[in-house]
Structure 1
Amino acid sequence: MLSRLLTVALGAAALGVVIGVMPGLSADSGWAVLAAAIVLGVLGAFLRPLLVLLCARGGWLAVVAGWLVTQALLVYAALAVTPGMHVDGFWPAFWAAWLGAALTSVVLWFVTAGQPGAATRHLLRVNRRYRQRVPHSGEPGVLFVQIDGLSAPLARWAIDAGNLPTLGRWLRSGSHTLTEWHAQLPPTTPASQAGLLHGASDQIPAFRWYEKETGRLVVTNRPRDSALVEQRCSDGKGLLAGGGVSVSNVFSGDAELSLLTMSTAGTNRPDRGVAAYLLDPFGLTRSLVLTTGEMVKELVQARRQRVREVWPRMRRHGSYVLLRGATNVLLRHLNLAVLAEQMMRGAPAVYCDFVDYDEIAHHAGPARPESLASLEGIDAVLATLEQIAAAAPRPYRLVVLSDHGQSLGPTFAQRYGMRLEDLVGQLAATGDVLAPPDNEQEGRAQVIEAELVRPVPAGPGPERPEIVVAASGNLALIYLARLPGRVTMEEIERCHPRLLSGLTAHPGIGFVLVRSRREGAVVLGPGGRRRLRDDHVDGLDPLATFGPYAADDLRRHDRLAHTGDLVVNSLYEPGTGEVAAFEELIGCHGGLGGDQSRALLVLPREWARPDELVGADAVHRLLLSSMRDEPGGSVAR
């Protein structure tokens, strides 16, 4: 009751301010303003649920249109029927609705700051209808929360530093255990999620790759490409099969319902919870206000890096400023709203990827203050989800995991004044080198476009170039695109005699994997070579500094379909832990070197904790077996 009175009071105050500054609106007295705020609250309570239902049935465009006009229609109706209030048409009410909601959101943010239960109360109130309708069950469900890009060593440090207090409390209480798993080459979100959700990480050789048979460049953060890859990964028995829900992932895990998921973009209507969040005047509007604040914070923090001459650093473009605001606030709030609804509906298994930390760490650095601050926001989400789980119609096991880590370092271009494709072009004496743009924002924008309008069509492919360089972090797959099949080392040396020797001699290259006709897979380095079939080394071992899993990872990678004719990994400096990304990202992943392969897994204490987990497929098998072994677990299939 107190919260409702506070909301009415704030609404009346905001409405009074709006009337004072907006032309076309007037009130005879303060009592009339208070009455209009009460009428608006009553109309919203009765009419908004109906509008939510109608918009959800109409699809994403209907929801967006409803978000734009629903509150304005309610404000217009409230002002029109309240004695002593005067409104000159719809448009003054439209702008009044937006300004009033923004003012109220700002005030509510200050009032509720430091009150972790405020978000929980709001989400429970929005989903209160499920409390009476969904029967209670003792069968446990599972909620998987993926913190994208968080390495296990950094997670332990963040827990000790107080950046992850909720996770730290779980570990200290003994309710959960923390372990590390090795993300096999390539440690990227698509490859790891193909393993975690489908047990099929071997379908993905990198974030980007070239398929010679079709001349197709596959980029896994494009909806049409991720849908193609999921067809290769799915056997219908994924982690979320049997009624599960996929939220903000690359692949669906064979979920019954997928929302904001790359591979299914444009194929699902918004559920009622998403519509309710978008049409709530203090849901999306509040998120937009905080998103603006996040963008301002990004500008300040980027300037602070420049003033302090922090190194390595990169230019943080305007598109990233928008992306940070969207991922660190808007998408996080939307994910939380979806998860709360699905838990209150009693979904048996839900998997959601929070990309906040990964996006910031790419541009600021994995352990920089702004990156660690984003972890605090995700930890607050965990606290809210824990409280939602306590009110849900079934008990939930909470699992926290990451898909890979990140490694820091100045980029290849920053170090040497040229990009890798320029070096390849020089060594191969050709200007016909295709390098796809390293634009992660494009994929997320296409998901939104596909959800709102239609699936993004595939355009006609370009004419086949002579060489394709597909970079993914500090790994690059190089293809002699006009030569069929896997081109051997002997053929490469015959066609481009300077290419292999030039790459291995370059200080920015750690090693090159290539297949020899006589020796099989061979790893070439600046001072020696390693034959992978028997690990025979001539000269200096090129993998000596890349960790105990490097040789096995490369043996596996050599067998993957569509791997490059040359697989190139950047240098790794053990003293600093730095690599050199072939993309313009100072925090990177996709290759070998540093913490990018050291992923996180936090499990309920009742679940098995193996001594060693190598690969996302192994984690997938562990999660499936743990779900099946739950006493009375509805997720057992």
Structure 2
Amino acid sequence: MAVAPHEPSPAPTTRDVRAEVRALLSWRRIVKRTRAVLRSAVVTFVVLTATLWLMPGVASADLVDTLGLVLLVAGVGAVVRPLLLVGIVALGGWGAMLLGVVAQITVIVVALELDPAERISGLPSLVFAAIMAVVFAAIIDWMLDSGSDDTFVREAKRLMRGVRRRQARQAGGSFLSLHRPRPGTEPGLLLLQFDGLSEPVLRWAIRAGNLPTLGHWLRSGSHTMVGWHTGMPATTPASQAGILHGASRQIPGFRWFEKDTGKLMVTSRPRDAAVIEPRLSDGRGLLRDGGVSIGNAFSGDAVVSLLTVSRAALPGRSARGWAAFMASPYGFTRALVLGVGEVFTELHQARLQRRRNLQPRVSRSGKFLALRPASMLLRDVNISLIAEQMARGAPVVYCDLVDYDEVAHHAGPARPESMRQLESLDRMLGVLERLAPEAARRYHIVVLSDHGQSQGATFRQRYGETLKNLVERLSAAESNALDTPAEEEAAPTAPLLVASSGNLSLLYLTRYPHRLSRAEIDDAYPKLVPGLVAHPGIGLVVVRDEDGPVALGTSGRHRLRDGHVEGVDPLLPYGPQARTDLLRHQESAHVGDLVLISSVDPVTEEVAAFEELVGSHGGLGGWQTDAVLVHPARWPVGRPELDGPDAVHRQLVEWLDMLGLRTQPVEADEAGSSTPRLSRAHDG
């Protein structure tokens, strides 16, 4: 069912015009605007007073002169900022980021240069004073809002109204539509991915009352929450390959080795993601019908892709949401200043973990210190981009919000620091609700996750060596012959290569062009498989035998094809779906010669990640395969159990079809697809 085309708006009557004029001149609107102007003036006055007082060599801080400077800043901003915004739109991408910071500083520099009192002279001093003023303004605005999102919402609404006015002008709209476009009535869909959030964590946070927006949706009955099983690998690239394209089998892990090309693929690298996407796409992706991809690994065949890894580029000239965020005093500069505060918060939280001897824990220094402010900045950028697409009337938007996942990796999935990030994402849902009246469509919101996370001390912390070191000992290889790092540019040449994703690891014998059997591996490295099976940190070793793939444990083995078990079933600690998950994973492209899963504690369900992450995902054990889907309660769920991301893809496509946002029926899509799909017997 296709969306009906827009019909031309009826000409406004005299009564409509009078009603609109009365609304524009209402006391509530006048008071609201007056308060905004007064607040801006007070903040500017305080900021300039503090800046001038702190500047060395400033002889006077006269009250009248400072008030005059406040007016000068307002006047310069009114003239200069729109010009800079035009430049930012023209530059796009990195230019927008650079000019966005320069825009705020330029307004202050020009105002200080024109200051009749001439209290600051010389370009270096002017720039330094401007930077101080911008920082003070960001801090004061945040304090006045008490950490709320009121200012952000006001700026986003201004952006959305501007976008819709431009659309109305291009369509030859009436006075009313030019001044205040009316909210849309056609349906639209916002798909918001809370990266790394497990269903048990979300359910607990809602019961605790920590997520007021999602909690209200569920308690009021407007939405319902269901869990879905990710299968293996429980990673963002695999899940998004399934959710966006229905082709999760193309992704065996977060990183893997391809024997036919001799390349180590890492899905976070744009050049690798760009190579992978054509393998996923058959032109019938989730977002093909005018959809927008924001912040994802793959595009889902979207018409517009913003900050999408496989389309490696920052938003260009057409993304005014990007430009407006960069140019706004409440956008990039504010996020940058508050991001510095996040670094100090992270240092304090890490110190508390050390002082309390909280276990398990990992180091939270190094690049993670940069990830905290970066994820906060990315969240605000993403919401601005979503707001712009809502104003444009995009039929469906899919956005990945990574805040929680990044912090949970290093702090732990249920630790207070991670819960703070989840609460901030819940606030963003409230922001989008408040922006809905400015949208060109009546948007429904679906919240889902791509996987969960499992906690535990790492393999190296428990056993004093990395998996790489263990494989090295068992294979008697040279110390530098293993485990090419994910960041290395050259093609790996090691005889054995370990590619890990959380507590999942793929082991490749790189000198052989095909996937090896157990007999061939034993012939090359007789001690390797027995040594791995006997190690207490490894719960499962999956290898091809004469009867197909078999899962080996310390006290037993499980043939995956027919379920035959000898000794103690090694799959018992991993849940009832482990056999299906492992068997499906064995059919993935470029799967390792050996597949390793760490041991899992039967009491705490903690895993031993092969990476240095206290919260991990990729394999089996714990909550990492327990994803979540929150959707409008009245929408039908065609499959009682959503097993695998490909099943979630089909469910979302059915909802798009129900809303009239799919140009071709679901049945026709499935019949005409050229990309191999999982059978219903295997994927639910």
TM-based fold match above 0.5: yes
What code does the residue aligned with 1:615 have? G
Task: Tell me what 1:590 maps to.
Answer: 618
Task: Tell me what 1:549 maps to.
Answer: 577
Task: Say whether residues 1:308 and 2:352 are aligned partners.
Answer: no
Task: Say whether residues 1:285 and 2:333 are aligned partners.
Answer: yes
Conserved in 2, the CA contact under 8 Å of 1:26 and 1:85? no
Structure 1 counterpart SS, 2:110: helix
Task: Report the alpha carbon displacement of residue 78 of structure 1 after superposing the two structures with TM.
Answer: 2.3
Task: Tell me what 2:542 maps to.
Answer: 513
Structure 1 pair 469/524, CA: closer, same or farther in 2 (3 Å)?
Answer: same
The root-mean-square deviation of aligned C-alpha atoms, in Å, is: 1.9
| Cα distance in 2, alignment partners of residues 587 and 100 from structure 1 | 40
| Cα distance in 2, alignment partners of residues 28 and 566 from structure 1 | 72
Structure 2 counterpart SS, 1:594: coil
Task: Report the alpha carbon displacement of residue 253 of structure 1 after superposing the two structures with TM.
Answer: 1.3
2:402 counterpart (349, 355, 364): 355
Task: Report the alpha carbon displacement of residue 86 of structure 1 after superposing the two structures with TM.
Answer: 4.5
Conserved in 2, the CA contact under 8 Å of 1:80 and 1:86? no
1:421 counterpart (442, 456, 468): 468
What per-residue deviation string (whole Å, max 9, x for no partner) do you get for residues 373-420 of structure 1?
A: 111111111110111123312110101010000001111111100111
What code does the residue aligned with 1:153 have? P
Structure 2 counterpart SS, 1:128: helix
| Cα distance in 1, alignment partners of residues 283 and 571 from structure 2 | 38
What per-residue deviation string (whole Å, max 9, x for no partner) do you get for residues 569-605 of structure 1?
A: 0001121111100001111000011110000100112
Task: Report the alpha carbon displacement of residue 25 of structure 1 after superposing the two structures with TM.
Answer: 6.1
Task: Report the alpha carbon displacement of residue 118 of structure 1 after superposing the two structures with TM.
Answer: 3.6
Task: Tell me what 1:452 maps to.
Answer: none
Structure 1 counterpart SS, 2:386: helix
What TM-score results when the alignment is normalised by the length of structure 1? 0.93
Structure 1 counterpart SS, 2:152: helix
Task: Report the alpha carbon displacement of residue 145 of structure 1 after superposing the two structures with TM.
Answer: 1.0
Task: Tell me what 1:613 maps to.
Answer: 642
Task: Say whether residues 1:294 and 2:342 are aligned partners.
Answer: yes
What per-residue deviation string (whole Å, max 9, x for no partner) do you get for residues 467-496 of structure 1?
A: 011111001000111012110001111111
| Cα distance in 2, alignment partners of residues 577 and 541 from structure 1 | 17
Task: Report the alpha carbon displacement of residue 116 of structure 1 after superposing the two structures with TM.
Answer: 4.6
Structure 1 pair 244/156, CA: closer, same or farther in 2 (3 Å)?
Answer: same
Conserved in 2, the CA contact under 8 Å of 1:141 and 1:634? no
**Where do residues 384-533 of structure 1 align in structure 2 (5 Å cutoff)?**
384-431=431-478, 433-437=481-485, 459-462=489-492, 464-516=493-545, 518-533=546-561
Structure 1 pair 241/633, CA: closer, same or farther in 2 (3 Å)?
Answer: closer
What TM-score results when the alignment is normalised by the length of structure 2? 0.87
Number of aligned residue pairs: give it: 615
Structure 1 counterpart SS, 2:623: helix
| Cα distance in 2, alignment partners of residues 636 and 288 from structure 1 | 44
Task: Tell me what 1:112 maps to.
Answer: 145
Moved more, 297-306 or 277-286: 277-286
**Where do residues 134-145 of structure 1 align in structure 2 (5 Å cutoff)?**
134=167, 136-145=183-192
Structure 1 counterpart SS, 2:542: strand
Structure 1 pair 26/333, CA: closer, same or farther in 2 (3 Å)?
Answer: farther
Structure 1 counterpart SS, 2:435: helix
2:245 counterpart (198, 215, 232): 198
| Cα distance in 2, alignment partners of residues 235 and 589 from structure 1 | 28
Structure 1 pair 579/493, CA: closer, same or farther in 2 (3 Å)?
Answer: same
Structure 1 counterpart SS, 2:184: coil
Structure 1 pair 237/534, CA: closer, same or farther in 2 (3 Å)?
Answer: same
**Where do residues 137-216 of structure 1 align in structure 2 (5 Å cutoff)?**
137-216=184-263
Identity %: 49
What code does the residue aligned with 1:51 have? L
Question: Runs of 5+ in structure 1 lacking a partner?
Answer: 443-457
Task: Report the alpha carbon displacement of residue 150 of structure 1 after superposing the two structures with TM.
Answer: 0.5
Task: Report the alpha carbon displacement of residue 340 of structure 1 after superposing the two structures with TM.
Answer: 1.6
What code does the residue aligned with 2:259 have? K
Structure 1 counterpart SS, 2:301: coil
Task: Tell me what 2:103 maps to.
Answer: 70
Structure 2 counterpart SS, 1:573: coil
Structure 1 counterpart SS, 2:186: coil
Task: Say whether residues 1:95 and 2:152 are aligned partners.
Answer: no
Task: Tell me what 1:227 maps to.
Answer: 274
Moved more, 337-346 or 182-191: 337-346
| Cα distance in 1, alignment partners of residues 585 and 87 from structure 2 | 50
Conserved in 1, the CA contact under 8 Å of 2:190 and 2:446? yes
Structure 2 counterpart SS, 1:545: helix
Task: Say whether residues 1:375 and 2:404 are aligned partners.
Answer: no
| Cα distance in 1, alignment partners of residues 289 and 164 from structure 2 | 23
What per-residue deviation string (whole Å, max 9, x for no partner) do you get for residues 500-550 of structure 1?
A: 11111111111111111x211111111111111211111111111211211
Question: Runs of 5+ in structure 2 lacking a partner?
Answer: 1-32, 169-182, 666-684
Task: Tell me what 1:604 maps to.
Answer: 632
Task: Tell me what 2:65 maps to.
Answer: 32
Structure 1 pair 510/6, CA: closer, same or farther in 2 (3 Å)?
Answer: same
In terms of Rg, which structure is larger?
2
What code does the residue aligned with 2:527 have? R
The runs of at least 4 aligned residues of structure 1 exceeding 4 Å deviation read: 23-28, 632-637
Task: Say whether residues 1:325 and 2:391 are aligned partners.
Answer: no
Conserved in 1, the CA contact under 8 Å of 2:246 and 2:645? yes
Task: Report the alpha carbon displacement of residue 139 of structure 1 after superposing the two structures with TM.
Answer: 1.3
| Cα distance in 2, alignment partners of residues 132 and 24 from structure 1 | 48
What code does the residue aligned with 1:142 have? L
| Cα distance in 2, alignment partners of residues 55 and 546 from structure 1 | 52
Structure 2 counterpart SS, 1:572: coil
Structure 1 pair 562/74, CA: closer, same or farther in 2 (3 Å)?
Answer: same
| Cα distance in 1, alignment partners of residues 345 and 663 from structure 2 | 42
Structure 1 counterpart SS, 2:447: strand
Task: Tell me what 1:564 maps to.
Answer: 592
1:15 counterpart (48, 66, 75): 48
